[in-house]
Amino acid sequence: MDAIVFKDNSGTATETYSFQYYPNAANPDPNQPDNTVLNVRYRDWWGYYNASGQHDMVPYYTGLERQMQGAPIYHDLNLGNPSAGRDPNLAGLESGVLRKIIYPTGGSTEFVFECNKYFSTIAQQIKNGPGLRVSQIKTNDNNGITSYKTYTYGDNENGYGILDMEPDITNMSSESYFDYNPVNGGPHASVTGAYRDRIFYSDFIPELSSIAERPVTYSTVTEYEGTPQNNIGKTIYTYDYAGWAPSGMPSFETMTIPRKHTYNFNYCNNPSLLSKTEYKNISAGGIPSYQAKRKIVNIYNYTTSETVTGLHVQKIHNLTQTGRVLGDYPPPGLFPEPYEETYAYPTINVYTYAPYQIPVGYKNLSSSTETLYNDDGSSIVNTTAYTYNSHQYISQRSVNTSDAQTLNTQITYPFDYPAIPIYVQMSSLSSNMLDFPIEQNQSKNTTPLSGVRTNYYNFGSTNPNIYPQTVDVKKGGGTYETRLRYSGYDTYGNPISVSKENGVLNSYIWDYHKTYPVAEVKNADANNIAYTSFEADGNGGWTFSGSPITDATAPTGGKCYNLNSGSITKSGLTSAKTTISFWQKLGGTVLVDGGPNGTFLAGSVINGWYYYEYTFTGATSVTISGTGTIDELRLYPANAQMTTYTYAPLIGVTSQTDLNNKVTYYEYDSFGRLKLIRDINKNIIKTFSYKENSTTY
């Protein structure tokens, strides 16, 4: 991907994010005329491209054991490619990797990489490991200022981490034995013998693939705000780690290459952040010195709830294979191999086996301690402790402050209420609404402070639509009082009517694929309101079959509706008095029928559009018809207040029409930032300008 381009409604590019990549390492294949084309056969121990020019990938082994039957043992067998070239290569690893992001402002972020490194216990030295790690991030603001974040790795910045398994002959080869010995005579009775079969792989043996795929892990990472030599401070991160390791299989035969497998598949105990310490640079006189500003220490509780066990079985001894003819024996219909296993070699170990386990559990953050350090050497310490329920959700959070106080928050969930049907339904497998807090009670030490309770209700019929119905609060150890009530939701879970308890009902209309509220109406229920500016996919409670048309002069948005396409209706009204308003473009006729008891009001004129307002008493339905073109069509109870909105999706509000039908317009720059606010006559009432501040180090 070379770029991401954002365009406005006209198709004009407004923002471009460009991407640059590291070039492909030169391909040394003489048969490839284009040396920038990768040859995936050239790969390191872990399968990453290394541009080695070697595709005979079996590593070179020397001094392997060799023995003919009945002869002495020799260690003079060499095998593999002496030039296999399996070590990682930085240029190969970087091939095609993201190098730079260029922003619409002209600024950029550049990533500098280096090879992962580990300490080899076999070679007793630091080696390059699988994959890349970030060495530095450069940020340029396009105004001549470049800032840096530089990363060093390992304890005391020693540069290396932990690799669970190194490339080694015992991890990349296997050994088996074959015997053939016809029984009880026959024409081939003298054809007997044994041989050893060793397979040398170019990759790790399949039995160890889960370990081979694991990355280099670092117990400590240091992030400099700048470079190690020139910075304003640094942050040191430490992590825990539970390593994996290959395990041996029982040696039922004398083997030069013992069989291995993976015993412990500890997927649920991944590395976690143990501490984060922020320092400021207080170096003076060229002597590096840092002072701690803030430290976070995390403690985890790892619990195994279940261990799934199994048995790995590997065949190590093979007898005469199926299909080999041995004269009169075995009897017809009996293959040689099972016959020899049963009668000729009844005590031989054909298989080796060993158990394996997959721990199933959880690793929860049990406490987090934050220490803030002052320049005078004093500090403020706050510790947050967490308690979990059987579903591993937080049931209590306790904050111990520096003044020896404890602030507790207790949290309950649907499964904590097995006697309440709606919470049983939420806890069911089909609903799976477990992580929805019901009550949150706060206390200081042992004194209750407050509580909040959310009561849920199924607003659906055939399909459950479970959403909050009321929100209750309490003070101290008192009883709950309802403060907020939801009266309905749409099919996307958006609230359509909500009110404070015994307060005015507020209703909402959602559009733009139900992602934005386009109307907010105070003192009205959802059945007695309707609104559309003909901008998006919804009808806003109106019924019509025609399609909106584009008109740049429309009072709100960029579309309107010509009534020649069909009339517009709204039924099911129950309000004593109903108001309908709209803007009509000059020309054509608009008829509004809401019953005999109606009044008419003509209002403002803007850019060839006229504002009209009708009020009907006792109307149960309304029809708008004729030949005119209309926009901003509203319906609401006469004693209600409606505010409406249009949007540029993913950018923001483009217009807001208040309860008096006064329109405010919002304009944005090419970066999606608010630029201008205009009044109904398009006069500028507020402007916004932006300037970026940069720091260099």
The tokens for 311 are 């048995």
Domain assignment present for 671: no
Alpha helices in 242-302 (DSSP H): none
**524 & 429 share domain:** no
Q: What percent of the chain has pLDDT over 90?
A: 74
Claim to verify: residue 591 and residue 542 sit in the same structural domain: yes
Please indicate, yes or no, if residue 346 is contained in any of the structural domains.
yes
pLDDT (tens digit per residue) in 9-48: 678 888 899 999 999 998 888 777 788 888 888 999 999 9
Domain assignment present for 178: no
Per-residue confidence (pLDDT) for residue 336, from 0 to 100:
60
Domain holding 605, by residue range, is 505-643
In a domain, 687, yes or no: no
Written as one letter, the residue type at 629 is T
CATH number at residue 580: 2.60.120
Domain check: are 610 and 514 in the same one? yes
What average pLDDT does the segment 56-64 reach? Answer: 89
Please indicate whether residue 573 or residue 317 has the higher confidence score (pLDDT): 573
pLDDT bin (cut points 50, 70, 90) of residue 325 is very low
Q: How many domains does the chain have?
A: 4
Q: What is the mean pLDDT of the chain?
A: 90
CA 550 to chain centre: 39
Last residue of a domain, one of 361, 388, 415: 388
**What pLDDT, on a 0 to 100 scale, did the predictor assign at position 323?**
46
With respect to residue 665, please indicate whether it lies within any of the assigned structural domains: no
Same domain, 211 and 339: yes
Strands 351-373 and 290-315: antiparallel
In a shared domain, residues 519 and 490:
no
Are 107 and 28 members of one domain? Answer: yes
Prior bond of 330 cis (ω within 30°):
yes
Instruction: Indicate if 142 and 283 belong to the same structural domain.
Output: no
Question: Is 692 a domain residue?
Answer: no
Residue that is last in its domain, among 473, 500, 527: 500
Q: How confident is the model at residue 182 (pLDDT cuts 50, 70, 90)?
A: low
Q: Are residues 520 and 492 in the same domain?
A: no
Q: What is the pLDDT of residue 332?
A: 52
Q: Of 414, 380, 410, whose CA–CA distance to 395 is shortest?
A: 410
Q: Which residue, of 131, 161, 191, is where some domain finishes?
A: 161
Same domain, yes or no, for 296 and 423?
no
Segment 342-399, tens digit of pLDDT: 655 667 788 999 999 999 999 999 999 999 999 988 999 999 999 999 999 999 999 9
How many Cα atoms occupy the beta-carbon half-sphere of 678 within 13 Å? 13
Same structural domain for residues 260 and 280? yes
How confident is the model at residue 288, as a pLDDT?
Answer: 86
- Residue 103 above 90 pLDDT? yes
pTM: 0.83
**DSSP letters along 627-641, please?**
S-EEEEEEEEETT-E
Is residue 458 scored above 70 in pLDDT? Answer: yes
> What per-residue confidence (pLDDT) applies to 7?
83
- Amino acid 646 reads T
pLDDT class of 129 with cuts at 50, 70, 90: very high
Q: What is the mean pLDDT of residues 460-472?
A: 91
Same structural domain for residues 395 and 317?
A: no
- Give a yes or no: residue 691 inside a domain: no
Q: Could you tell me the sign of the dihedral formed by the alpha carbons of 80, 85, 88, 93, in that order?
A: negative
Q: Are 111 and 195 in the same domain?
A: no
Is 188 or 476 the better-scoring residue by pLDDT?
A: 476
- Which of the four pLDDT bands, split at 50, 70 and 90, describes residue 68? confident
| Residue 234 to residue 225: CA distance in whole angstroms | 6
Flag whether 657 is in a domain. Answer: no
